[in-house]
Amino acid sequence: MKHGTVHESISRCFGRRLLNHLERGAAADRATIEVLVDVFFSSEGPVTVEELVQQLNQRGVSSTHAQVSALLRRIVEYGLAKSEEGEDRQLRYSHDEVDDHSDHLICLRCGLDVTFRNEALERIQQEIANSHNFRQFYHKHKIYGLCPECAAHEQRQLIPLRLLLPGETAIIEQMAGGAGMRERLAAMGLALGDRVTVLSRSLMGQMVLQSGESRLAVGREFSNRVFVTMLNNSNCRSGIK
C-alpha cells in the first residue's frame, strides 16, 4: 500500500461506510468489493476497468467488466475518484490523494487547475466544522470560473448578461424571447446597443444595473436572455490574479 494515499484514510477513518455504500445494490459480494478497493486505491496512476479486472484475477477474485465498472462509478459518485477518457476513448480512473487541505481554482473553459492555500480560509473551514461538532479529516474546496487567458477571450465573445461581475460594463447585443422580450427591454428603457454596468448581483441571479443615469433591478430570467459583449474594465476578469 502506497503511503499517503486516500486508501489509508479509508481504512482508518471511513472504510466500513464506503464498503457499505458500494455494497448496496452492487452485483458483487463484499469480499470482491474489499479487494477492489484495496487494489484500486493502491494503484499509482490511472487505470482502466480491464486492467483492474486483470489485477483482481491475479488476486484470485473473479469479477466481470460490468461489475468493476459499476463499482468504480459508485466510488466516483462518492467523491474519492475521477474518470477521464483517453485518446483511445477508454475511461481511466484515478483516486484522489488525501491531504489536510485541497483548495483549487478551476477554469471552466480550458480546465486549468491551480492549487492554492489560504490560512484565513483554513481557519474559517475549521471554525465551521467546530461549530457543528464535526470532526474534520480533510476537505476539498473548488472555485470554478475563468483563468486570466480565458477571461480575456470571453471579453470578445457574446455572453449572457448574468455572467458579468459587479463593476463590469458591457454592450447589449442580442436578446432571446422574441417580440415580448424586446417589449420588456424597451419598457425598462433599454435597447440594443445600450451600455450597462453591473452595480451588484446576488447568488440567486438578481442584478442591479446602471444604464446612463438610471438604475435597474433585473431578475435571473432576464439576465439569462440578454446577451452582451464586454468592454474593457479596470477590474475586468483578465486582471484576475
More confident residue, 80 or 216: 216
Gap between the Cα atoms of 87 and 221, Å rounded: 39
For residue 159, pLDDT beyond 90: no
Instruction: Return the SS3 of 183.
Output: helix
More confident residue, 156 or 203: 203
- pLDDT value of position 144: 81
Comparing 24-28, 38-42, 164-168, which segment has the lowest mean pLDDT? 24-28
Where does 6-95 sit in CATH, by number? 1.10.10.10
Q: In what order do the strands lie in the sheet with 195-201?
A: 159-160, 226-230, 169-175, 195-201, 207-211, 214-218
Q: How far, in whole angstroms, is CA 87 from its chain's centroid?
A: 23
User: Which tens digit of pLDDT belongs to each residue from 32-59?
Assistant: 888 888 888 888 788 999 999 999 999 9
Other C-beta atoms closer than 10 Å to the C-beta of 209 total: 25
Domain 103-145 homologous superfamily, CATH: Ferric-uptake regulator, C-terminal dimerisarion domain (3.30.1490.190)
- 3-state SS, 84-141, equals EECCCCCEEEEECECCCCCEEEEECCCCCEEEECCHHHHHHHHHHHHHCCCCCCCCCE
Is residue 151 predicted with pLDDT exceeding 80? no
pTM, 2 dp: 0.42
Instruction: Find out whether 81 and 93 touch, Cβ atoms under 8 Å.
Output: yes
What's the pLDDT tens digit per position in 105-145?
Answer: 988 778 888 988 888 988 898 899 899 998 776 677 888 87
- The answer to whether residue 177 scores a pLDDT higher than 60 is yes
Residue 238 pLDDT grade (very low, low, confident, very high; cuts 50, 70, 90): very low
Mean pLDDT of the chain: 79
For the chain, what are the domain ranges?
6-95, 103-145, 152-239
What are the tens digits of pLDDT across the range 181-234? 778 888 888 888 899 999 998 877 789 999 998 899 998 888 888 889 888 654
Architecture of domain 152-239: Roll (2.30)
